[in-house]
Amino acid sequence: MYHHRNLLVMLASFAILFAGLGSMATTAHAATWHKGTPTAIRGTWRTKTSKSLRTYIHVTSTKYNCDQMYDTKEHAYITDPYRVTNVYYHHKSGSQYYYIKGAHNTEPGTKQVYYVIHKVGNKLREHEYGQSVKGHYTKFNAKYGAWFYKI
């Protein structure tokens, strides 16, 4: 009788233990993509003058326009910007990196582009990836570009 009671107590303990393990919450580690651009990088950014050319990035709430060249001697834009529309981003709180993806208007054969933006204080730089027709992302540039400064 005594062994039978101990066996029942032990079985009940295991049942409670396994029921408790199944009800424990797990945390998700997937990044949440938000529509638009992060407010921290919105505005106009430019490189420092290199002889007579400056490169600009214009970020609005819905678009990321980059690589617009400005000739300071002629006072004219000499290239059209790459426009990224249908923009989504994600950013881990406390991180200096922002991840932006969207539809690219100028790269032939590219469905989407993906930018890694490194922002430190009032300057940022970008690393660009493009998605091929097969769906794989490849680097457009091998390293981060020049620093852009907020104006």
The reply to whether 3 falls in a domain is: no
Chain position carrying tokens 């295991």:
14
Residue 22 has pLDDT above 80, yes or no: no
Is residue 19 in a domain? no
Q: Indicate if the alpha-carbon torsion angle 120, 149, 144, 36 is positive or negative.
A: positive
Domain count, the chain: 1
pLDDT digits (tens, 9 = 90+) for 128-143: 887 666 666 777 666 7
Q: Long-range CB contacts (< 8 A, 24+ apart) of 111-115?
A: 111/135, 113/82, 113/84, 113/140, 115/64, 115/84
Q: pLDDT, tens digit, for every residue of 84-108?
A: 888 999 999 999 999 998 887 765 5
Give the residue ranges of DSSP H helices in the chain. Answer: 2-22
Full residue range of the structural domain in which residue 119 is found: 34-150
pTM metric for this prediction? 0.69
Q: What is the dihedral of CA 118, 120, 121, 126, to 10 degrees?
A: -30
